[in-house]
Chains A and B, each alone.
Chain A
Amino acid sequence: MVDLVWLESVLAGAVQAGTVYLIASLGEVYAERSGVLNLGLEGMMILGAAVSFIFANAFGHGLALLATLLIGLLFGLLLAFLSVTLRLNQIVVGLALTLLGLGLSGFITSAEIRKRILLSLNPEINQQALLTQQAPNLPIIKIPYLSDIPLVGKILFSQNILVYTALILAFVMWFVLFKTRFGLSLRSVGENPAMADAMGVNVYLMRYVAVMIGGMLGALAGAYLFIGYQPFWVEGMTSGRGFISLALVILAMWSPLRAILGAFLFGGVEVLQFRLQLIGVGAQTPQFILMLPYAVTIITLTLLSVESMKKRIGVPAALTIPYSRE
C-alpha cells in the first residue's frame, strides 16, 4: 500500500491542503507577536475568498490577488483601529469582524449583487462569468530540474505560485522577525510595550503594521483556498479554517518556520482521514479522525489559558492587552 507514488500523492495533497493554514498563520504570527490577537481571521479569510472569486472572474488571477491583499489590508486596518487606537476588547472585536466577514462575503457573492459588482468592474464581461460559481484555477508551475527530483519534486516543486510564495514567505518572515531590528521592535511591543515605548519604538505604528500584514495574509489564505485549491464558491466555504490557523499559531509557538511543519501536519490529517477511511482504518469511527484538527485546537487553546503554561509556551506577554501611553 505504501509505495512511492502513494506517498507522493499523499504528501503533495498535504502541502496543498496545508498551505491555507500556513499563509493565514504566518500573518497571525506577526499580529500576535505585536500583542494583537486577530480573532477576525476567519472573516478575513472568507472575505479574501469572496473577493478573489469576483475579481478572478472579472479580470483574471493577477488582479484577484491584488484585490484580495487590498481587502485584507483594509480589514486589518479596521481591526487595528478598533483594537489599538480605540483599545476595544480584542476578542469581542475579532469575533465581530469574523461575523462581519462572513456576512459581507455572502452579501457580495449573492447572485444579484455579484452580477452588479461584476458588471460595474468590467462592463465587457461575458455572460458565463456572470453566472458561474467557479473561477479558473491557478496554474501549476513546475520548477525546471527541481521538479524532476523523485518524491520532493512532486511534493514541493510542482505546485502553484501561492504555495511557493507561502514557503518563501515563511523563511523571509522568520528572518525578519528574529534577525532584524524591525523584528526586534515588533517582538518587544508584544512583550513589554511600555518598555519598547521608552526605548523609542512607536508601539501603535508597529501594531498597525503587524495587524495589517496579518489581515493581508489572512485574506490571501482565503484566495488560495478558492483559486488555488478548490475553486467553487459556497457561503461559509472556509468552514472554520481561520480558527484552525489560530490554533496553529500557538502550536507553532509563534515561529514562522515551525508554522510550516504545523500547517503541513494539519494538511496531512485532512488528506489522510479520507485515505484511511478507504483502507478501512477506523471505518467505524471516521469522525474521530475528522475531529483531530479541532481537538488539537481545543487542547492548545486550553493549555494557553493556564497561567503557568503561558510562560512555558512563550506567549507574547502583552497579547490581547491594549497599550495606552501613560
Chain B
Amino acid sequence: MKRNRNAVRRLSRREFLGISTGAAAGGIVAAAVVGGIAGYFTGQTTAKPTTVTKTTTVAGAAQTVTQTVTQTVQAPGAKPIKAGYVYVGPVGDFGWTYAHDQSRQYADRIYAQASSTYIESVPEAEGAAAIQTLVEKEDVDLVITTSFGYMDATAEMAEKYPDKYFVHISGYRSGAAGNAPENMSAAFAEFYQLYYLNGLAAGAVTKTGVVGYVAAHPIPEVVRHINAFVLGANYAYRKRTGKNIKAYVSWLFSWFDPGKTRTATISLVEEKNADVVAFTEDSPTTLQVAEEYTTQKGKQVWSFSHYGDMTQYGPNSHLTGQIVNWGPIYLDFYRMVATDTWRSVDIWTRIGDYIPYKWRLPVEKSTAGKPEGTVYLAPLHSAIPSEWQLEIKRRYEEMKELIFEPFSPEGNLGEPIRDQEGEVMIDYDQIVVSKKTGEVREGGRADHDALWLMDWFVEYIESELPKA
C-alpha cells in the first residue's frame, strides 16, 4: 500500500499534453473574451460639423511663453482623418481613462470627418505593440497615447512611422522640446489651480482646522496638487480664524484601489480628525466614505470630484472639485493633421485655455462651476459661505488671465511660501526651482519648471514627503 505519489517524477507525455491542453483552452477562452470586449467597443462616431474657435497655450521647456492662436476646426481642404488612442486603464474606471474616453467621444462628435478607435488596459511595457497595431492594422493617421509610461515607446514609433503623427499625454518628449522626432507632440491638462480653489473651499468650511489628502504616488504632479490644496486651505482658514491649517497626507502607492482608499480615508478622519479630504485616486471612494460619515455616522466630512463630476457618489459631502475635458486639445491635433498644418508642440493647459474669451468675467458673471475649456471647477456646494464662494469665483476668473498664481506670496496671504524645514521656496524676488538641485531663479511666482520638479511640502503639512 506504500505508493508515494509525492516523489519527484519526470513529466510524462500524457501530463505534458494535459498541461498544454489546459494552457491552450485557457488561452482561447481568455482571448475570446478579450477579443469580444475590444471588438464590441471599437466603435466609431461621427456627427454634424460644428465650428469652434479656441485658444492655445504653448509652453517651452525652459520658460513659460504664452502664445495665442485662434483657428477654426473646419478649415477648407480638410481631409478625413482617423485617430487611434492607447489607454492605460479600462474605459469604465471613472477616473483617468474614463475622462480620456469621454474626451475622445467629444472630439469625434465635433469634428465631422474624424473617426477614432482605441485599445484599453494596455500595460505600459506593451505601448509600442499597441501603437504598431493601431498604425498597421487600423491604419490611423494620428496616435494619442495617454500615460506617462508610453513616452519612450511613442517617440520610438514616431521615428519608425515618419508619415504618421503622435501625441503623448503627460510626458516631456516632443519635437518642440527637441528630444523626439518632429511628428511627436506632448500635451497635458493641469489641475493645480483648481486644487488651490478646492483648498479655499476646504478652509472655508472646516470646523476642525484639519484637512487630509489621500495621495497615489509621491511624484511631482501629486506633490504640486497637495501643496496647492493646502495653500488654499490655509489661506481661507487663516483669514477666518487667524490660525494655520493642519494637513496630513496618506500615501496609497497605487493609482486605484477602492479598498485601500477606504482605509486611508478613514485613518485621516479618525486618526487626525480631518473633516475635508481631497484625493488623487481614480475612483470616488474618498467621496463615498465622506458621505458615509456625513449621513450615517453623524459627522460632516467633505470631499471632491476628480476628473469627472462625482456629485452622485456623495451628494451631501461634495464640496466642489476638478474636472477635465481633453476634447479641445484632441480637436486641435485633429485639425493640424487634417489640414496638413502640423507643427510639434509641447502644450500644457490651465484655467482659461481653449475657451472663446480668455479675459476674466466680473465675479457675479463668473463661469466657475460650469463646463468650459479643458479644466474647470465642479459645482460649488451651497454650504460654502457666500463670501468664500465669491472669493473662489474671483480667483477663478483672475487665473484665466494668469493674473493670480497660487504658488506666489499672494496665494499665501502675502507671505513667502516656506517648506517644512522653514526654508523660503517662493518669495517676491526669487523662487527655488527644485530643492534637490537648489537652483534659484528670479521672479515672484513658480514657473513651469518649479511646478514640474516640485519636491517639497509646504510648511502647513505635518506628514513627511517620502523621498523618491
Residues of A bordering B, CB below 8 Å = 6, 9, 13, 17, 20, 82, 86-89, 92-93, 95-97, 99-100, 103-104, 106-107, 109-113, 128, 132-134, 137, 192-195, 225, 229-237, 239, 241, 270-271, 274-275, 277-280, 283-287, 290, 317-318, 321-322
Residues of B bordering A, CB below 8 Å = 1, 3, 5-6, 15, 18-19, 21-23, 25-27, 29-30, 33-34, 36-37, 40-41, 89-95, 121, 248, 250-251, 253-254, 256-264, 266-268, 270-272, 282-285, 288, 292, 312-313, 463-464, 466-467
Whether A107 and B33, one on each chain, are in contact in the complex, defined by CB atoms closer than 8 angstroms, is yes
Residues on B with C-beta less than 8 A from A110 are: 37, 40-41, 90-92
Whether A100 and B270, one on each chain, are in contact in the complex, defined by CB atoms closer than 8 angstroms, is no
Residues on A with C-beta less than 8 A from B95 are: 234
Whether A239 and B40, one on each chain, are in contact in the complex, defined by CB atoms closer than 8 angstroms, is no
Given A13-B266, A278-B463; A113-B40 close (CB under 8 Å) = yes
In the assembled complex, the Cα of A280 lies from the Cα of B250 at a distance in Å of: 10
Q: Which of A133, A195, A317 contacts B6 (CB 8 A)?
A: A317
Residues on B with C-beta less than 8 A from A230 are: 258-259, 261-262, 285, 288
Whether A194 and B263, one on each chain, are in contact in the complex, defined by CB atoms closer than 8 angstroms, is no
Seed contacts A234-B93, A278-B248; 9 additional CB < 8 Å A-B pairs: A20-B259, A106-B37, A137-B292, A230-B285, A235-B121, A270-B263, A274-B263, A286-B466, A317-B5
> Residue of A at shortest CB range from B35?
A103
Residues on A with C-beta less than 8 A from B257 are: 237, 239
Whether B90 and A106, one on each chain, are in contact in the complex, defined by CB atoms closer than 8 angstroms, is yes
Q: Which of A9, A194, A235 contacts B93 (CB 8 A)?
A: A235
Provide the main secondary structure of the chain A interface.
Answer: helix
Instruction: Give 20 pairs: A residue, B residue, CB < 8 Å, sorted on A.
Output: A17-B259, A86-B22, A89-B18, A96-B26, A103-B30, A103-B33, A103-B37, A106-B121, A110-B90, A112-B40, A194-B3, A229-B262, A232-B258, A234-B93, A235-B89, A235-B92, A237-B257, A274-B267, A284-B466, A317-B6
Residues on B with C-beta less than 8 A from A137 are: 292
Whether B254 and A107, one on each chain, are in contact in the complex, defined by CB atoms closer than 8 angstroms, is no
Given A13-B263, A110-B90, A234-B94; A99-B37 close (CB under 8 Å) = no
> B463: shortest Cβ distance to chain A, in Å?
7
Q: Which of A106, A107, A232, A287 contacts B285 (CB 8 A)?
A: A232
> Residue of A at shortest CB range from B16?
A89
In the assembled complex, the Cα of A277 lies from the Cα of B464 at a distance in Å of: 9
Residues on A with C-beta less than 8 A from B268 are: 278
Give 5 closest A-B pairs by Cβ, nearest first.
Answer: A96-B26, A88-B22, A283-B464, A103-B33, A274-B267
> Residue of A at shortest CB range from B267?
A274
Residues on B with C-beta less than 8 A from A285 are: 466
Residues on A with C-beta less than 8 A from B464 are: 280, 283-284
In the assembled complex, the Cα of A232 lies from the Cα of B291 at a distance in Å of: 13
Whether B263 and A93, one on each chain, are in contact in the complex, defined by CB atoms closer than 8 angstroms, is no
Q: Which of B19, B37, B267 contacts A89 (CB 8 A)?
A: B19
In the assembled complex, the Cα of A20 lies from the Cα of B248 at a distance in Å of: 28
Residues on B with C-beta less than 8 A from A20 are: 259
Q: Which of A9, A239, A290 contacts B270 (CB 8 A)?
A: A9
Q: Which of A107, A192, A278 contacts B36 (CB 8 A)?
A: A107
Residues on B with C-beta less than 8 A from A277 are: 250-251, 267, 463
Residues on B with C-beta less than 8 A from A109 are: 92
Whether B5 and A321, one on each chain, are in contact in the complex, defined by CB atoms closer than 8 angstroms, is yes
In the assembled complex, the Cα of A279 lies from the Cα of B22 at a distance in Å of: 49
In the assembled complex, the Cα of A230 lies from the Cα of B256 at a distance in Å of: 13
> A228: shortest Cβ distance to chain B, in Å?
11
Whether A134 and B313, one on each chain, are in contact in the complex, defined by CB atoms closer than 8 angstroms, is yes
Whether A96 and B30, one on each chain, are in contact in the complex, defined by CB atoms closer than 8 angstroms, is yes
Whether B258 and A234, one on each chain, are in contact in the complex, defined by CB atoms closer than 8 angstroms, is yes
Residues on B with C-beta less than 8 A from A192 are: 5
Residues on A with C-beta less than 8 A from B466 are: 283-287
In the assembled complex, the Cα of A279 lies from the Cα of B271 at a distance in Å of: 8
In the assembled complex, the Cα of A260 lies from the Cα of B263 at a distance in Å of: 20
Q: Which of A17, A88, A241, A283 contacts B19 (CB 8 A)?
A: A88
Whether B271 and A275, one on each chain, are in contact in the complex, defined by CB atoms closer than 8 angstroms, is yes
Residues on B with C-beta less than 8 A from A280 are: 463-464
Whether B258 and A92, one on each chain, are in contact in the complex, defined by CB atoms closer than 8 angstroms, is no
Residues on A with C-beta less than 8 A from B264 are: 274
Residues on A with C-beta less than 8 A from B260 are: 270, 274
Given A229-B259, A234-B283; A275-B92 close (CB under 8 Å) = no
> Residue of A at shortest CB range from B23?
A92
In the assembled complex, the Cα of A79 lies from the Cα of B466 at a distance in Å of: 44
> A32: shortest Cβ distance to chain B, in Å?
15
Residues on A with C-beta less than 8 A from B25 are: 82, 88, 96
> Residue of B at shortest CB range from A131?
B312
> B303: shortest Cβ distance to chain A, in Å?
13
Residues on B with C-beta less than 8 A from A274 are: 250, 260, 263-264, 266-267
Whether B33 and A104, one on each chain, are in contact in the complex, defined by CB atoms closer than 8 angstroms, is yes
Whether B251 and A286, one on each chain, are in contact in the complex, defined by CB atoms closer than 8 angstroms, is yes
In the assembled complex, the Cα of A17 lies from the Cα of B261 at a distance in Å of: 12
In the assembled complex, the Cα of A110 lies from the Cα of B282 at a distance in Å of: 16
> Residue of A at shortest CB range from B465?
A283
> A267: shortest Cβ distance to chain B, in Å?
9
> B88: shortest Cβ distance to chain A, in Å?
12
> Residue of B at shortest CB range from A236?
B90
> Residue of B at shortest CB range from A285?
B466
Whether A237 and B258, one on each chain, are in contact in the complex, defined by CB atoms closer than 8 angstroms, is yes
In the assembled complex, the Cα of A106 lies from the Cα of B89 at a distance in Å of: 11
In the assembled complex, the Cα of A194 lies from the Cα of B1 at a distance in Å of: 9
Whether A92 and B267, one on each chain, are in contact in the complex, defined by CB atoms closer than 8 angstroms, is no
> A211: shortest Cβ distance to chain B, in Å?
15
> B114: shortest Cβ distance to chain A, in Å?
21
Whether B37 and A92, one on each chain, are in contact in the complex, defined by CB atoms closer than 8 angstroms, is no
> Residue of A at shortest CB range from B90?
A235
Whether A283 and B254, one on each chain, are in contact in the complex, defined by CB atoms closer than 8 angstroms, is no
In the assembled complex, the Cα of A190 lies from the Cα of B257 at a distance in Å of: 36
Residues on B with C-beta less than 8 A from A194 are: 3, 5
Given A113-B40, A132-B312, A277-B250; A239-B33 close (CB under 8 Å) = no
Q: Which of A96, A97, A286 contacts B27 (CB 8 A)?
A: A96
> B317: shortest Cβ distance to chain A, in Å?
14
> B10: shortest Cβ distance to chain A, in Å?
15
> A279: shortest Cβ distance to chain B, in Å?
7
In the assembled complex, the Cα of A78 lies from the Cα of B417 at a distance in Å of: 62
> B207: shortest Cβ distance to chain A, in Å?
19
Whether A92 and B253, one on each chain, are in contact in the complex, defined by CB atoms closer than 8 angstroms, is no
> Residue of B at shortest CB range from A92?
B22
In the assembled complex, the Cα of A9 lies from the Cα of B269 at a distance in Å of: 11
In the assembled complex, the Cα of A258 lies from the Cα of B272 at a distance in Å of: 34
